[in-house]
Structure 1
């Protein structure tokens, strides 16, 4: 049975005046308090067993593979079923995976295999959460408030991310990674309970799931700006995550005081995300997609800083600027996507976009891990930075990028 839609009949003055948006935002905030600590805790769970770049790359790759395999399924379901129910189930599954991981790490029974298996389950959960999240916001708030809603949604979660990595670094250093992983599991469970009360209509659907998937691919390929952005993102995201998430903790362990230093780098990056959100609350660029693409340049800065051996304050400054650019890019992209893709198609279009951007991540992790065996880590970091720059420049050469602009209904 379909539930009542959360979109109010009367236009609200701000996204915060919509009760469903407040619940949605609170669930994101609660989950973010755990997710801010999880990457550092996962990395040092692996490093604590005496493993290096190769093993960490394998674990991170196995976390991504199931997301790629199930994203299209999640996208089709997000355009056929209640997105709020999918969000509830996805968060519940993630809570179970992180709870199991925390228990095995805390009892000393964790192995590379058990960590990877928990990552597999977490990856499946993400595959159902992500497409539903992209389409849910358009059902919750009026279209003229989309950019502000995207920014407000990110503001508190980014604020949490500022302190989260620092606290996570201290917790990992003092008590071990299991405590941070347990908190992550608890926050996923709390978010699931909040989302259980968010009742959204199932989007109208016609035909079989397979026909929906075929129609989705046709719609995706017909939008040149969408598939070229996805192709560039495949390179950019892989290079960023391989350089920052994979090699970053290893460089910090050798040159920047280990977990504490890496926690500060992540906190600086999160501070940049917060600053970028504040910019997006005030700045409403007309060329949404061009801004989203160009802001990706900033992601190369911390990789260059670490790759050239700059001191920790310089790395922190570079991470701050990268965070500002990334958040501007995310909000601009989300608003462009929500304005230029019809709501009933957003689950599938978002899934194709995410599959494309995630597809190169396992290969990127593995190739980076192999490259780190042949070349020094800092050389590999500089190579990742060069790939980011190339992806952005090539994407800016696509004419359609400059045609996906802000629609007048969002001028408020």
Structure 2
């Protein structure tokens, strides 16, 4: 279970992502209540969070190309330094009382571009840090650390917002970006083979698109998550704080988000030991639980109901996350992995800004409760759509060494000293 921790590059990657998620647990709560304190408008909140999501969607394909051509360590370090600067600027504006919606929109957009650069590199780096047979355990450990950090971050975010205001939560997020950048300097793995090619950006994108569309289960799941993520982004991240403000309170909403992450930790422990042949099928079925929190907010927004729903959602989400990352890593060549992830992220996220921006006017027109019920229905329909695909239902976890499966770059462990030097073998192209 803990074998991936023998590899120093994996340890640095895991620490960097853990610290990132500690800040990310605080940031959404702090930003949401900073906007609500500033204008009290759900529409403004949707615009601010939607600006970040929109920029991430627009630039994520470029981020995938960069991550396949440039050192992934350089991308991770550079993007986290930029993230620290943008979040520090947001925190300074909020703390000094000089924040305005246009300024927050601009900085959220800048932070979205940073996210678009870092996320494909972050997702594609894991298979480079461990041998092929440890990919599932590595993904589960990464997720376990991330979720443990999110528990503390969400709870701390709620407490900070309630005790000293949202500005300090945003300042903490800026600090975690800087610490993560330092950790990522230790992720020393071989450069992707794509780095040595002389093709242009368009050719690289075309090659990534060919890999993305070659597997029906990939694009079917991504289409499903296009709908699912839009519903969750609008329902949980925009309407959730509004409902909490009128019912359980700000600090309790932080506890609900922490409970969801606690469920993810439990789910991560399950995923470490889980051995099923149709791992993706199990993961997709589990996503039906994503409707629970939306239903709780709509029907019974009490602390007991929302905490219970959060835990159940967290356990379920983690089964899908590990199943998806393992399936992608075992079936996509390492030199094209970041680009496939970038198309995955583009498709999965493209409707998120629409969900975030549209949910305010829709809720004003038909009511918050009915809007949340519609969002829950969309989640269920999206999952059923994914399950309608035979390829999704029948995909099996591949043996790490079977012919036709691209092996990730395999680092050589440097021993107890934890030195960052690695060596690699180039992954073969798909048979």
TM tier relative to shorter chain:
over 0.9
Query: Is 1:94 the equivalent of 2:83?
Result: yes
> In the alignment, which residue of structure 2 is the partner of 1:302?
293
1:190-269 matches, within 5 Å, as: 190-205=179-194, 206=197, 207-257=199-249, 259-269=250-260
Q: Which of 372, 383, 392 is the aligned partner of 1:381?
A: 372
Residue in structure 2 matched with residue 60 of structure 1 by the alignment? 49
Cα displacement (A) at 1:168? 1.4
Once residues 13 and 43 of structure 1 are traced to their aligned partners in structure 2, the CA distance between those partners, rounded to angstroms, is 37
Give the superposition deviation at 1:310: 4.5
Tell me how far 1:50 sits from its aligned partner: 2.9
- The more displaced of 304-313 and 346-355 is 304-313
User: d(CA) in 2 for partners of 1:44 and 1:215?
Assistant: 42
Partner residue in 2 for 1:147: 136
Is the aligned partner of 1:26 residue 2:15? yes
Given that residues 97 and 121 in structure 1 are in contact (C-alpha distance below 8 angstroms), is that contact kept between their aligned partners in structure 2? yes
Aligned twin of 1:171: 160
Q: Name the SS for the 1:38 alignment partner.
A: helix
> What SS does structure 2 have at the residue aligned with 1:409?
coil
Displacement after TM superposition at 1:35 (Å): 1.3
Taking the aligned partners of 1:410 and 1:316, their CA distance within structure 2 comes to 42
Q: Which moved more, 1:334-343 or 1:214-223?
A: 214-223
* Contact residue 146 and residue 410 of structure 1 kept, 8 A: no
Once residues 15 and 173 of structure 2 are traced to their aligned partners in structure 1, the CA distance between those partners, rounded to angstroms, is 15
Asked if 2 retains the 8 angstrom alpha-carbon contact of 1:53 and 1:372, the reply is no
Q: CA deviation at 1:78?
A: 1.2
**Residues 194-231 of structure 1: CA deviation (Å, up to 9, x unaligned):** 21232222211232222111111122122111111110
Cα RMSD for the two superposed structures: 1.5
Shift in Å at residue 134 of structure 1? 1.6
**Structure 1 residue runs without a partner (length 5+):** 1-11
Q: C-alpha deviations, 1:26-59, integer Å up to 9, x for none?
A: 1112222211111100000001113222111111
Paired position in structure 2 for 1:113: 102
Shift of the alpha carbon at 1:410?
8.6
Q: Provide Cα deviations, 1:71-110, integer angstroms capped at 9, x if missing partner.
A: 1111111111111111111111111110100000000001
Quote the offset at 1:13 in angstroms.
8.1
2:261 matched to which residue of 1?
Answer: 270
Quick one: distance in 1 between partners of 2:27 and 2:133?
35
Q: 2:63 aligns with which of 71, 74, 77?
A: 74
Q: Deviations over 1:5-25 (max 9, x none)?
A: xxxxxxx98101001111111
Relative to structure 2, which stretch is displaced further, 21-30 or 198-207? Answer: 198-207
Tell me if 1:370 matches 2:369.
Answer: no
Q: Compute the displacement of 1:408 (Å).
A: 2.3
Q: What secondary structure does 1:355 align onto?
A: helix
Aligned with 1:30: secondary structure? helix
Who is 1:3 aligned against? none
Whether the 8 Å CA contact 2:83–2:111 is kept in 1: the answer is: yes
Cα offset, 1:151, TM superposition: 1.0
Deviation at 1:160, TM superposition (A): 2.2
Contact 2:211 2:332 (8 Å CA) reproduced? no
CA distance in 1, matches of 2:202, 2:37: 45
Rounded to whole Å, the distance in 2 between the matches of 1:392 and 1:81 is 36
Q: Report the CA distance between 1:62 and its aligned residue.
A: 0.3
Would you say 1:189 and 2:181 are equivalent positions? Answer: no
**Cα distance in 2 between the residues matched to 1:220 and 1:49:** 42
SS in 2 for 1:245: coil
Report the TM-score, using the length of structure 1 for normalisation.
0.94
Over 3 Å counting, the alpha-carbon distance change for 1:303 and 1:74 in structure 2 is same
Give me the whole-angstrom Cα distance separating, in 2, the residues matched to 1:246 and 1:310.
15
In the TM superposition, residue 404 of structure 1 has moved relative to its aligned partner by 2.3
Q: Secondary structure at the match of 1:198?
A: coil
Alignment match, 1:41: 30
Q: Is the 8 A contact 2:19 2:176 kept in 1?
A: yes
Question: Residue 201 of structure 1: SS of its match in structure 2?
Answer: coil
Deviations 1:110-138 (A, max 9, x none): 11111111111110111011110121111
* Deviation readout 1:344-395 (Å, 9 max, x if unpaired): 1111100001000110011111221110110111111111000000000011
Closer, same or farther in 2 for the Cα pair 1:310/1:36, shift >3 Å?
Answer: closer
TM-score, normalised via structure 2 length: 0.90
Q: Counterparts of 1:236 and 1:13 in 2: how far apart (Å)? A: 32
Structure 1 position 128 matched with structure 2 position 117: yes
